[in-house]
Every structure is written in structure tokens, then in C-alpha cells.
Structure 1
Amino acid sequence: MILRTQLSALARRPARALLTGLALTIAACAVFGTVLAHQVARQVVVDRLSQTPAATNLVVGATPTLDTLQKVRAVPGVAEAVGRVDGYVQLERISSAYLQINADPGSGPMAKVRLTEGRYPSAPDELAVSRRTADRLKLPVGAVVNLRLDAPDSSDPDAGRETVRATVTGLVETADDGWDTAYTTDVFAARLAVTDRWTQIDVRVAPGVSVDAVRTDLAALVGADASDSIMTGAQARASEQEAALADIDAVFVAMSLFVALAIIAAALVTASTFRIVFAQRLRQLALLRAVGADRRALARALAAEGALTGLVAAVLGVLAASALGLLAPLVLRSFGIDVPRPGFPVGTALAVVAGTVLMTVLTVLAPAFAAARVAPLEALRTASTTAGGRGIGGVRAVIGGLFAGGAVLSAAVAATLLGGSDSAGRDSTVLLLVLCSFALAFLALLTLGPVVVRPVLAVVSWPLRKWGAIGRLAASGVGAASRRAAAVSTVVALGVTLIALTLVIGATTQAATDRQATSMAPGDFNLIADDGAVVPDSVIQKARTRPELTAVVPYRTATVRIGTSKSDVLATDLDLRQLATRGPQPEPRTAPESRRVEAEATAPKTVDAWHAALDRAVARAAGVRPGDSVTITTGQRTLDVRVTEILDATPLATGIIVSPTDLDQLGVPPGPTGLLANATRPGEPGRTAAYQALEAISPADQGLRLSVLADQRDQTREKTNALIVVLLALISLTVVVAVVGVGITTALSVVERVRESGLLRAVGMSRRGLTVMLTTEAALYGALGATIGVVLGLPYAAMSIKTFDSTVPVEIPFGQLAVTVAVLTTLTGLAGLLPARRAARISPMEGLATDG
């Protein structure tokens, strides 16, 4: 009877049930959506990142000879056979440019490229290039280029090099759109690569022909020694995809951790929601107790109600994720991105539903048993609801104090270890202590939330109290139910703490990566002379007069040995002060050998005569520290220099920076062996113009090679930025659940505050004023959580960074953190806007007539 009563009440108000389970719906949608995304991502890797087309049935490996291709094509049942080869060929018009040559049929099921302009090569003197290659190297359709092939005799690379004339006939699109890629027929590709063997031969079997039969014939063709190299297309693709799929799986394992955090947030929101709902039905529950309902039976009925809510929420979440999975490919296809549609794994869907129901039951147990303890005399109360509580009990305070003490103790031990001199085996211990401290701090926040919220509310609401009566009423409304405010704000705090951790660690990592990338690749372009050659003075002078280029700095390099080491190291006299890059040029940072900063490591940043700056790895191998003297040896000459500083990274893969005078003393010829330059204009257009300017002034017969260092820096920066964006996107799941929790709390609070709203309207508050007040209350939940999250996240971000490298300065992105607080406050305010407008529509008479 009790269960029927509860379920009938639930059926009469389905909107409240849906509202109660909204956070669960989002969590179930996130879990099932992650499963579908994993499924799609693996399929994309299989379809696009494999070097073997899906139509390939067999692959002949073991680098078969060129004449094997025609023999394979003659095997009965072979519909198509494609020889694959890749290599590099030099553009003769400027010796600094190379093209990566790939063999591809250009069309049909065995093609890995798609023609976008012109026609695909069909003659043995034609090429197709990627769009980026055409733009960067000025190779439009119709361009004629001279290609200088490698010498057949590797012992004399400059002897007998053949020049081949080729025409660019088309532009193609590939999965990897590099700036130096070209495609052509298999015969011409083999000639340009100067090879007598294919990398592999891809075979497509005719429809209706047995693949095993063709494989047997191919094994007989290539011989017993190479027969084991023949594999099916599926085997080849599986081998190629194994590493990529492992990376994808690792990414989704990390994603599952963030989804788990979203689930925890949903559980917290759900528990808070059920407490509010049960409190609003206090008189009904007391009446059931008065007519003889047992506490346990009442608790079981409430738990069953929660289970039903979880079931409905889980089903809706799974269906929503499935619908989004079907809609996303259609939307992406409109932007030119083709991704497969996910399937519907029934087993996984049932597991998500069952897990959500189980989590809901576990979440609702505590509120259910608390509500079941209601006394029958409560039925005599005039109010049908009860307001949220404010304090915490003594047991809860003791438990919270233990959690807080454990968090402080773990953090103190971690800080002590970070300040110690012995780093052996320390990192893992410190990281474990930091994670333990963070977990205990969050548990302490959950337990002591009502106590923590009050002082934070006093600070956060101070401007509102100065604003006027509406601000004071909003702050008082939140403070009057501090337990409820703590429950909602804690979920917001969890999301903001993770965001703060990500932003601080990301900013620090980005700054450190930029410093290292700038140290290793200090210019946009590097023009290098081949061994024994120099960069002509005419090239340097022309580069300095070109408007597309700036900060043109020549330099020398020489191979030396340092101290007693037997390993060769590249030395340079590059003066980093002459490089005027766009934006501030970061100073090379001293990197002491020890994890502890020492006085002798803070040496001057300039490199004068008889002084040197060493790469950290080189210094460790040579056993030298800042201030030590070390001997540099080249040929028969030696030179003693003093080490002024140890750098995280030295430029251009060198190991030591010395002065030009020191290279002269070592007998290094005076001509520069390289030249660094920057693009005058930012972005790809400026970079392309600068590249073409350097290309135009580089003689074809001087043995010069040009590399784009800026592309390497961009790739590193893009990877870091992409990782930060992905992490923030994953954390947004928790934030969305938190914002929804604020909306749910505000909506349910409106029900129990009808009389309060009516009184405020009766004493003269306008509808707009009541809407603003309640919306401000919702925004305060977000402001409380965001403030606590930032305060909690900053020290743990700093400790996490120092765990991995105690010498890295912590970068705090104050602007981004301020935006985070403002955005969360705004979102939570918007989440409470609709309930606030609903409350504002209550008339004064309606509110005064309500018994709550």
C-alpha cells in the first residue's frame, strides 16, 4: 500500500520526477555517449589512419623487387595490384627543398588520395601535390619542376645525380596534408626514389575469387623465403592500427575518469534533490506513519521511488546519447567532415541503465532513511514542507575535521619532500600524497560544507549586501539553508577545482614548452649549408634586405668533444640576443643539475670569450656544473672554457654555445654554416612569403637546405592546446551537472517558498524584483562553488607541477580563472532564471493562502 501510494504520487507529478532525475539523465547520456564516441573513434582510426586501403585483400611485404609487381598482376584472380613506395627527391630549382614522393593509383578503391583540382598523373613525368605543398613551394597545376635524384652510389652522394623534369598535373587531398608531399604512379615513384624494391604490394582480389587460393599462388610466386611476408589486408591493417588504437583506448580510459567525476557530481546532486523532495512531502510521510506505516517499509518505498526515477532517467539518457550519435555525423558532414554513424550496443546500454539504477538506489538510501524517521506528530504541523537545515551534527563535525587534518598533513609531508635534496624515487610518493590530500580535502568539503559556506558567503555576498534590499534578501535566502547551499556549491566547486587545475597546469606547461621550443628552435627558418659548405655572404645580404624576412642571424657550427667524453657534440656561436622574434623572447632558464636551485647555477646569461653554456644532458654526461672549467676538443686543438650556465635546451640540436672567438681558437673556418630568420608577418601567409623569399635567394648549386622551425613549434603548441581543450571539454561534463543541480535546487525551492514569495509580493516587491532576487540566489550558488574551487585548485595545481619539476615556475592565468568564476556564476544564475520567473508569477493572495 505504501509503495502504491508513493508511485501514484510520482505518476501524478511526472515533471517533478523528471526534474529529480535530470542529473542522472545527463550522467547516463555522458556514459553511453562516451561508449559511442569510443566506437566511432576506433572506426575512424581503422578507416583513415591505416596505410592499407580497406579494399586491399592481400599484402606482399618483405620489400619485393620491382619486377614482382607485373608478375603479381598476372596471377589469376588478381583484380588490381599497386606497388607502394615512398622516398624523397630534391627540387633542383632550389636545393633546400625536398618532396616526399608517394606511389598511389589516384582513383579507385585502392587509392589513398582524393583529387581536388586538375587530373591525377598518368604519364611517367607527372606529379600531383597537396594543396599546402602547392602554396608553400609555388607548385600550382601546370608548374614544371626539375627533380634531382639521389646518387646510385651512396659512398659518393654528389656523383652521377640524374635530373628529371616533371609537371604538376593536379592537387590532391590526403589524411596527412603535409607541406612537402607529392604523389604519382608507382613506376615514376620508384624511379624518383631511386629504388629497385617496393615497400609493399597491395593486392585486390576479384569478386568471387578465393583469397586463400590467390594467397597460395602469390606464395609460390615470391618463393618460400618471402612467403611468410604475405598477409591479408585485415592483418596488415590490424598491425598498422594496433599502436593508434592503443592510443585511442588510452585516451578513452582517461575520459572515463572524467565521466566518473561527472557521475559522482550527479550522485551528489541527486542526493541533495531527493532530500529536498522528501522534505517537501514531510506531512504526507508523517500521515503514513500515523496510520501505521513502518519506518523500514516507508524507507523501502522511498528507495523504490528513487529506483524508478533512476530507471526513467537512465533510459532517457541512453536514448538521448543514441540520438546525438546519429545526429552528429549529419552535422559534421555539412562541414565537410565525414565520420561513421555509431551502432547501438545493446549490452552496454543495459549495463548503463542497470548501473544508473543501482547508483540511484545507493544515493537515495540516506535521504530515504532520514525521511522515514519522521514522527507521526509532524502530521499536525500546519506547514506541508520544511526548510533546509543550517548546521551539522557533532559526529559529522569530527569526521570532517579528521578529513581536513588528513588533507593538511598529506600536503605538508608532500611539501617537505619537495623541499628535500634527495629526489630518488620521490616523485611517485609525492604525487600519491598530493592525490590523497586532494581527495581528503574534497571529502572534508562535503562533510563540513555548511560550516565552510558561511564565511565564503559573507565574502562573496558583500557587494550584494551593499547593492540594496534585493541583494541582502538573496544572500539571506542562501544563508538560511546553508546545508542545501553547501550540497549544490560542492558540486560546482568540484568542477571549478578541476578547471583551475587544468588551467594552471596547462599555462605552466605551455610556458615551459614555449621556452624549450624557443630555445631549441629560436627562429622561424633555418638555412643550413651541407657538410664542408658555407652560406654565401650574398645570401645573407639579400636576406637582410628582403621585406618578408626579419632577424636574419648567421651562425657557425662545429663538431667537438667536451671533457673526457668520447661522444661528439655540436657547438655553435649563435647569438640569441640578435633574434628579435614577434612578442617577448623568453630568456634561457638556468637548469641546475639538482632539483634544488643552487647559488652557482645562477650564472650570467651572456656567453663571452672562454665561456660556454651547456645543454643539461650534455653537462650531465660530462659531469660539469655551472662555474666548472671544461676542455673543448676539435681535431688537434683544445680550449679550456668556464661553464657559465646549464640550459634546459640549446638551439638547433647543439650541445654547447660558445663565443665566435672560441670557435676561431678551435680552428673553425670563418664562414657561417647556417642562417636563422623570422617571418615579418605572422600566420601562414607571412610564413609562406618568407619561405618563398628564402627559396628565391638560395643558389641551386651551393648545397643549402631550408627547414621551417616555426612549423615544429606550432605542432608542439597545438598539441598542448588541444590537450587542454580536450580536458576542459571533459571537465565540462561535471560543470554541466553542477549547473543543472543549481537549476533543480532553485526549481524545487520555489515550491516550498510559495508563502515567502507571496509575502514579498504583498509588501510591495515587484515581479521583476522577485525574479532578480531568486536568480541572484542561484548565481550565488555558482559564485560560492567557483570561489571554493579556485581556492582549492590553486595549491594542488602548484604541488602537482612541483612534483614533476621543482624548478619550473608556476604560471597562474588570473584572467582565465576570473573568466571561469564569472561564467560559472552567470550559468548558475541563468539556470535559476526560469524557476525564478515562475515564482514571480505567484500572486500575493495565492502565496498568503498557502500553508507552507
Structure 2
Amino acid sequence: MWHLTLRNVRAHAGRLRLTVLAVALAVAVVAGGTALTGASQRLLDAQFRTAAAGVDVTVRAAAAFDSAMGVEVDREPLPAALVDEVAAAPGVARVLPVVEGSGLLEVDGRAVVPTGASVLSSFAPAPFGAFVLREGRAPTRSGEAVVDVATARAAGVAVGDRVDLLTDGRSTVRVVGLVGFADGDGLPGATVVLVPLADAQRLLGTGEGFTELRVRTTTGTPVADAVAALRTRLGADYAVASGQDTAEASAAAAGEQLGSLRLVLAALSGAVLLVGAVLVANTFTIVIGQRRREIALLRAAGATSGQVTRAVLAEAVVVGAVGSVLGTALGLVTAEGLRVLARAAGSDLPEGRLGTTPAAVLLAVLVGVGVTALAAVGAARSAARVAPVEAIRASVDVVGGPGPRRGRATARAVPLVAGVVGLAAVAAGAPAALLAPAAIATVVGVVLNAAVVTPALTRALGAPLARAGVPGQLAREAAARAPRRTTSTAIALALGLALVGFTSVVATSLRDGLSGAYRETITADLVVESARGEMLGGLSPAVADRLRSVPQVEVASRVRYGHVLDGGTTTALAAVDPATLPAVAELDMVEGSVEALAGGGVLVAESLSTERDLHVGDVVRLTLSHAGVQELEVVGVVDSLDAQALSTAWIVSLDTYARHFAEDLDASVLVRTAGGVSADEARASVRAALADHPTAAVRDQAAAAQARGAAVDEVLGLVGVLLGLVVVLALLGVTSTLALSVAERVREIGLLRAVGTTSGQVGRMFRAEALLVAALATVLGLGLGVALGALTVSAVLGREAPLAVSLPVGRLAAVVLAAGVVGVVAGLAPARRAARTDVLTALAAD
């Protein structure tokens, strides 16, 4: 049977070409996504591990947790006297103090604004330093600096140039060298400037303190022993760890930013595999239907039903293996393309060669082969049911044949009913965790039962085609007469369009909800915030101080953010000035007041209050990054929509924040202009006052609100491009199924030609049928996707704060147009083949 399988694959290679291509594209996405995220994490691990190779132990101020949401938390400066104390510890050979913070580089009056951090640090010589000199020398005198190679290349900086450093003030330094980070040219998405230690202390305002001590142990002293001794000597106020542990923690913090990208790629890989599986299933179903007589002859010759089943599955394995090998080979090319798309969407990925591992290659091949084999199970079971007596009968059109028996129809209705009931329960308030299985069951149910409504839908959708002439009438009736064939042709495209509709509705609703909540709550005339969009802070406190001195500004109210652990989940906490916030924001209080924050305590969002039964006077326990576990009294409950405008469910005063957090950066400054000052005059005066702070973006309220949805638009752009691949796969599916159906309908074509239909009319009939299939897919797919998206928005995402469903009419209209183009393109090749069918050959066909 194995030799027979290989012979059948070779004999029907033309029919399986598009199926192999579909499997290859699907596996390429899986392999590319795995290669991108896996290689990026390996590059980060290698960079940080190499950078810490010369450091045995690190000493920093203690923190309740090292990092959160992909960002390492700030810590208190270490006292100068700690250097001598650490140096005197047993097993310590050398100690190097380091100061590190944020400093913006300005070249020829133009700020170099990276997507990530602007690192300013003291220079650490080998073996303590993570940065290796590539050109020039180390900075040894005040006013000297070295810059990372990647930044120097991008900004046009050379050794000997003078550049400006912007911290709380402006300093001019001379570049005396260029450095790389481990084996790379710099930190991913960041700029790096290294200066002498005294300059770093002065520029970053640490006084005589340091941010970290790097320790080398004496020869023969185990690192674990040195760590234990220093922990005992220094106590709980300091965090002592091995250099490699610190490097791994830093790499893990940087790697957290890969989490969302990994999730998006995994979801889209699943979608691509699903559409590919539908294409495989359709192809094998049709091919087996066309080979029923051949299979019956095998049965008559003694082949058992089990052997026939195994033969069909073996064919699927061969197709899957060939497609998977091709797809895996395309994986690295796909990974490079995905890296470009991810960077365009704002993800900071490390530079370096993307490679893969044998395990990743094996996984991609197994996934491709496994999905292909599973998709062919239905066709294999159908082939096993072919009776030997069919060898003397005409073949049966399996796809377009009679509908399922009553028992089978009832079984097919089960997932649809279960899914709809589950979705209704979620809409009525059931746990959100029920949404995913209910949605999957609904999608499966629609796929299994769509043929029931296909005749009515195709006749309705095909009415314009029928009025356009005979080919349109014939296409309409052919599609309605064979609902299972029509549905199987349309379903792959329908699934792709359902994903597009779902993501479009959810993303648009989120974007409009974030922007709308901000517009309704924030009444400030101007909003000053970091152009890089760092939620946790990117503005020096000097920005707010400078704004208060501007005559055109009446109120400048600061907003900060910090990390907290709440029940094991890391989230953000906002800090505001209760005295000035009411002048620039309207917070609707359910209980308590904003002014009550002046005495300490915390405001909580109404959704959180309802979930945990919190009221004014209750006490909550939160783990803060610097202060550890703290008990805060609830002094107010704020409307959930207003809390959403501040991007958090927890709000404290700036004074409370200062007592519990080490971070000293503002996220934004909300500005109310003085009476009688025009908007243009206020904006111009504020920008002039902040000339030394080029990353401080000055926006009016509308622009600030729009910026809240910018991140959603970036992710939506990435998802949209990747979903385009899903639609390409669906195009292959429609083309493949229509092409195979031409072979099924040879006799029908012959009869049409015999009664006077021209070859041109036959071609137009198949093109019209392809367009009708695309229309059916659009109705089923977009209808399902938009409905699930609307339910997700209103019943799940809207539980935290009211969130209206926004329909992206323009995008959906573009999708409908694109589906029409897909239908036209998909029908070209099958129509050409049908038009060229020889009349006598067609009439002689069984």
C-alpha cells in the first residue's frame, strides 16, 4: 500500500499542488514566529550573559520585585560608604561602583529619541563593563563620553564630535570612543552614552551615591559563598545576587516585552493552520470523491477498509511532509519579515542573526504533518466506506451529493447549539473564561451547518448575477444546487474574514474607548508627555517646575505611575496631586473625594470596588516595588470610566508615592492655561519653555486622547498584515476547490456546450460562481467575526469600564471589496480551464 500511496501522490500531483503550497505557507508562519521569538530571547540571554561574564556579584538597594511589565524597577541610591564595607568583606577582590540612569542624546540640535531607553551610565572598564570599546578610548576626564556603535551609526556621530546630554539640564560632551554591547552594536531599541563616574553622579543627581556595586571575588572563592557572606554582612536593605543571576533577571525583564508578540504570533499561527487545514480537508474530500471508482476497484481486488484509510492518510502525510519541509525552509525568511513588522508595530527586538534549533524545526514539521493528517481524516473515513460494487457504477459527487442523514445532522447541530448557549451565558454575565470555548464551538458549528443555509443565501446573493445574463443564472443555480460543495469552497475564506472582522471590531472599540474615556475625563487644555509614550514615566520633574513659571499657564498638575503587586499580578498605580487635579480633570466619585488623598490612602475604581466589596474606610494590602507590602486605606471609589482615563484602578497622591517609590519621573503634566490666553499662544509659550526637553511632547486634549489609541493601531497594523496571509491562504483554497470542481463537472460542462453555450459563457459562469462564493464567505465570515467581536467588547472587555462597540465601517468596506477581488482572482484559472474543456471528451466522461 505504501508503494501505491506514492504512486497516487505522483499521479495526482497536479491536484495537490495548491494544497502543498498552503501547508508550506502555514508552516512558514509557524516556523517563522517560533524562530523570531526564540532567537530574540536567545540573543537577549546571550548578550546579558556575556555582559555579566566578568562580574561575580552585584549589590543594589533592595526591592520587593525586580521588574514588572517588561521594565526593571528603580531603586534607591547606595551610600558611598558601602563601597568600603563591601570591599572589606571576605572573598572580595575588587569593587566597582556604577551609576546608571536616563539621559537623552542630542546631535547637532536634534534629539536622538529611541523606541526604548536612553541609557546614561558611568563607564565600567573590563572585566566589569558590559560595553566593549570598538574605536577610540575610554572617557577618563570630565566632559568626555563614549557612545554605542548602533547609535553613532544612526545619528552620524564620530569620534571627536561634540554632542549634548539632556538630563535635568544640558551638558556638552566630546565623544572619545565607540562601544558595542557584548557581541552586538548596542542595546535593542536604546541609545547608550557612557561618561566618567563623577559626571554620571552629577548629571543623574545621585550625589555621592551609586546605583549598583559590581564585585569580583578572590581566586578560589565560590560565588555562592561570597553572595551568602555579603547578604549576612549587609542585611535586608540590600539585594545581593550573583552576576549571572542579575543578568538573567535583566534578560527576563527585557524578554517580557516579547510576551505580547509571542501571543499575537501564536494566535495567528493557529488561524493560519486552521485555514490551511480546511483547505486540505476540502481538497482530499473532492479528490477522494473523484477517485471512488478507483478505490472501489482496490476494494474489489481485496483491499480492506483499514488499508484504504491508511493509504489516504499516508497520502496526507506525504503532502504534509513536503509542505512542512518547504515551509520550514521558508521560516527564516518569514522570521525576518515578521521582525520588520514587529518593529514597525513598536516591539524592541535585539539585533543579530535569526536562527532556529533542531527542536523548533522538528516541531514545525510535526505540526504541519499532524494538521494535514488530521484534516484528511474525514476524507479517509469516506474512502473506507466505498463499497466494491461501486466499481461498476458511475462515481458519486461526494461534496455536492445528498445531505447528511438525520442522526448525523443532529450531531452537527450540537456544537452550534452549545456555542450559542455559551455566548448567551457570557452576555448575561457568566465568567469571561467561557467566551473562548463558546466561540470555538460556535465557529465549528457554523462550519458544520453552513450548508443548510447556503441555498437560500446563494440565491439571494446571486440575484444581481442572475439579472446580468445566462452565465450568472447558471452560476447561481449551480451554487445553490450543490450547497456542500459551495460551502466547502467558501469556508476557508469565511474563516479568514471572520478573524479580520473580529480583530477590527475589538481593536477599534478599544482604541475609541481609550480615546473617548480620556476626552471625557481629562479637561486640561494641554497635555505634556513623553514623545516615546513611556507610561511609567519619561519626563523630568523639572518639566512641571518649568511650566509653573510660564505666565500663560495657570495650573500644571503632575501624573506619575509605579508598579504594584496585587494578588500575584503586576499592575500600575497612578499618583496625582489632589490639590490641582480637579482643575484639569473631572473624576466622578462614587464614594469619598479626590481631596481625601491629601491625607494618604488610595482611590479604587468602581469595578474593583464591586469585585472585592471595597468601600471607604476599608484597608487594602499592596506590594510596592520599593516599600514592600503596605496597607493603604480606601478613601474613595472613582467611576470606572474615569479610572480608565488614568490607565489604572489604583490612585494615590504624589506625597504617598514619594514615600513608597524610588522612581522620580512624571508620565504627564496636565496643563490649564490662564484666562484670555489663546490656544496657539499657550502652546507656543509652553514649547518655548521646554526647549531643553525635546522628548516632552506638547499636545492639546484631542491629540493626547488620540495618542491613547496609537498603540492599538500599531498592533492592529501588525495583525492586519499577518491576517493578509490568512486571506492569501483562503484564496488558494477557493482556487483549488473551484479547479477541482471543474474536473468533477466535466460532463455538466459538456452538456452546456452541446446545447449551445459558448466557451466564453462557460468561463463567465465559473467566474460568476467564484464571485458568488466570495460573497457567501463575506456574509458568513464577517457576520460571525463582527458578532463575536461585539460580544467580546460589550460582555467581556466592558466589564472593567463601560466600553461601546465601534464598527470600523471603512475597514469592513475595504474587506468586502478585497473579498470580491479574491473571488474574481480565484475564478480566473478554473474559468479558463472550464472554457477550454473539449466538448466530445466532456460528453464521454462518466
Q: Same-fold call, TM > 0.5?
A: yes
Distance across 2 between alignment mates of 1:290 and 1:89: 81
Contact 1:127 1:166 in 2 (8 A): no
Alignment partner of 1:369 is 2:368: no
Distance across 2 between alignment mates of 1:475 and 1:370: 28
Q: CA deviation at 1:712?
A: 7.4
Contact 1:106 1:114 in 2 (8 A): no
Q: CA deviation at 1:186?
A: 2.5
1:821 aligned residue (816, 824, 844): 816
Q: In the alignment, which residue of structure 2 is the partner of 1:300? A: 310
Q: For 1:93-492, list aligned pairs within 5 A.
A: 102-105=120-123, 123-126=141-144, 142=162, 166-167=172-173, 175=187, 184-192=195-203, 193-201=205-213, 225=233, 233-246=243-256, 248-249=258-259, 251-253=261-263, 255-322=265-332, 324-325=334-335, 339-381=351-393, 388-389=400-401, 391-415=403-427, 417-418=428-429, 429-492=430-493
Contact 1:450 1:483 in 2 (8 A): yes
Could you report, residue by residue, the CA deviation over 1:20-75 in whole angstroms, capped at 9, with x for unpaired residues? 44433333333333321221231344367x59836654454244749959x99xx9
Contact 2:282 2:489 in 1 (8 A): yes
Q: In the alignment, which residue of structure 2 is the partner of 1:805? A: 798
Alignment partner of 1:784 is 2:776: yes
Q: For 1:307-706, list aligned pairs within 5 A.
A: 307-322=317-332, 324-325=334-335, 339-381=351-393, 388-389=400-401, 391-415=403-427, 417-418=428-429, 429-518=430-519, 519-520=521-522, 522-526=524-528, 535=548, 539-540=551-552, 554-555=554-555, 569-572=578-581, 574=583, 648-649=642-643, 675-676=672-673, 692-695=687-690
1:86 aligned residue (86, 101, 120): 101
Contact 1:618 1:655 in 2 (8 A): no
Distance across 1 between alignment mates of 2:207 and 2:278: 65
Distance across 2 between alignment mates of 1:516 and 1:762: 67
Letter in 2 for 1:83: V
Letter in 2 for 1:487: S
Distance across 1 between alignment mates of 2:284 and 2:645: 61
User: What 5-or-longer segments of structure 1 have no aligned partner?
Assistant: 92-97, 150-163, 419-428, 541-552, 560-566, 577-587, 594-613, 625-642, 657-671, 699-704
Q: For 1:824-835, list aligned pairs within 5 A.
A: 824-835=819-830
Q: CA deviation at 1:833?
A: 2.7
Letter in 2 for 1:16: R
Q: In the alignment, which residue of structure 2 is the partner of 1:663? A: none
Contact 1:90 1:148 in 2 (8 A): no
Could you report, residue by residue, the CA deviation over 1:333-383 in whole angstroms, capped at 9, with x for unpaired residues? 9xx997433444323433443454444444333322323333444333466
Cα pair distance change 1:245/1:371, threshold 3 Å: same
Alignment partner of 1:746 is 2:761: no
Distance across 2 between alignment mates of 1:83 and 1:349: 42
Letter in 1 for 2:233: D
Distance across 2 between alignment mates of 1:294 and 1:354: 28
Q: CA deviation at 1:313?
A: 2.8
Letter in 1 for 2:798: D
Q: CA deviation at 1:185?
A: 2.7
1:842 aligned residue (830, 837, 840): 837
Alignment partner of 1:61 is 2:71: no
Distance across 2 between alignment mates of 1:820 and 1:460: 17
Could you report, residue by residue, the CA deviation over 1:199-252 in whole angstroms, capped at 9, with x for unpaired residues? 2255899xxxx9867979998999983699775543321011223435535653
Could you report, residue by residue, the CA deviation over 1:556-576 in whole angstroms, capped at 9, with x for unpaired residues? 8799xxxxxxx9833556378
Distance across 2 between alignment mates of 1:680 and 1:111: 49
Letter in 2 for 1:191: R
Distance across 2 between alignment mates of 1:340 and 1:648: 43
Q: In the alignment, which residue of structure 1 is the partner of 2:630? A: none
Cα pair distance change 1:747/1:232, threshold 3 Å: farther
Q: CA deviation at 1:123?
A: 3.5
Q: CA deviation at 1:531?
A: 10
Paired residue secondary structure (2:98): strand
Cα pair distance change 1:450/1:242, threshold 3 Å: same
Q: CA deviation at 1:724?
A: 2.8
Letter in 2 for 1:31: V
Q: In the alignment, which residue of structure 2 is the partner of 1:34? A: 33
Contact 1:496 1:735 in 2 (8 A): yes
Alignment partner of 1:773 is 2:785: no
Q: In the alignment, which residue of structure 1 is the partner of 2:845? A: 851
Structure 2-normalised TM-score? 0.68
User: What 5-or-longer segments of structure 2 have no aligned partner?
Assistant: 61-77, 107-112, 179-184, 530-540, 560-575, 592-602, 618-636, 653-668
Letter in 2 for 1:449: A
Could you report, residue by residue, the CA deviation over 1:129-182 in whole angstroms, capped at 9, with x for unpaired residues? 9999x99xxxx9757899878xxxxxxxxxxxxxx9745669999647789x96
Contact 2:166 2:692 in 1 (8 A): no
Paired residue secondary structure (2:818): helix
Letter in 2 for 1:53: A
Which deviates further from its counterpart, 337-346 or 212-221? Answer: 212-221
Could you report, residue by residue, the CA deviation over 1:380-401 in whole angstroms, capped at 9, with x for unpaired residues? 3466977722533212322344
Distance across 1 between alignment mates of 2:364 and 2:646: 52
Q: In the alignment, which residue of structure 2 is the partner of 1:16? A: 15
Which deviates further from its counterpart, 434-443 or 788-797? Answer: 434-443
Distance across 2 between alignment mates of 1:113 and 1:688: 41
Q: CA deviation at 1:813?
A: 1.2
Distance across 2 between alignment mates of 1:531 and 1:298: 78
Contact 2:415 2:444 in 1 (8 A): yes
Q: CA deviation at 1:483?
A: 0.6
Q: CA RMSD in A?
A: 5.7
Distance across 2 between alignment mates of 1:679 and 1:772: 64
Which deviates further from its counterpart, 356-365 or 787-796? Answer: 356-365
Paired residue secondary structure (1:784): helix
Distance across 1 between alignment mates of 2:682 and 2:176: 24
Contact 2:80 2:209 in 1 (8 A): yes
Paired residue secondary structure (1:378): helix
Contact 1:219 1:226 in 2 (8 A): no
Paired residue secondary structure (2:709): helix
Paired residue secondary structure (2:690): helix
Contact 2:523 2:584 in 1 (8 A): no
Contact 1:311 1:357 in 2 (8 A): yes
Q: CA deviation at 1:296?
A: 3.5
Distance across 1 between alignment mates of 2:18 and 2:686: 59
1:724 aligned residue (692, 716, 729): 716
Distance across 2 between alignment mates of 1:521 and 1:198: 41
Distance across 2 between alignment mates of 1:558 and 1:272: 60
Contact 2:2 2:311 in 1 (8 A): yes
Which deviates further from its counterpart, 645-654 or 352-361? Answer: 645-654
Cα pair distance change 1:110/1:707, threshold 3 Å: farther
Q: In the alignment, which residue of structure 2 is the partner of 1:564? A: none
Paired residue secondary structure (2:233): coil
Letter in 1 for 2:202: R
Cα pair distance change 1:827/1:147, threshold 3 Å: closer
Cα pair distance change 1:458/1:535, threshold 3 Å: same
Contact 1:66 1:196 in 2 (8 A): no
Q: CA deviation at 1:785?
A: 1.8
Paired residue secondary structure (2:717): helix
Residue correspondences, number: 710
Contact 1:276 1:388 in 2 (8 A): no
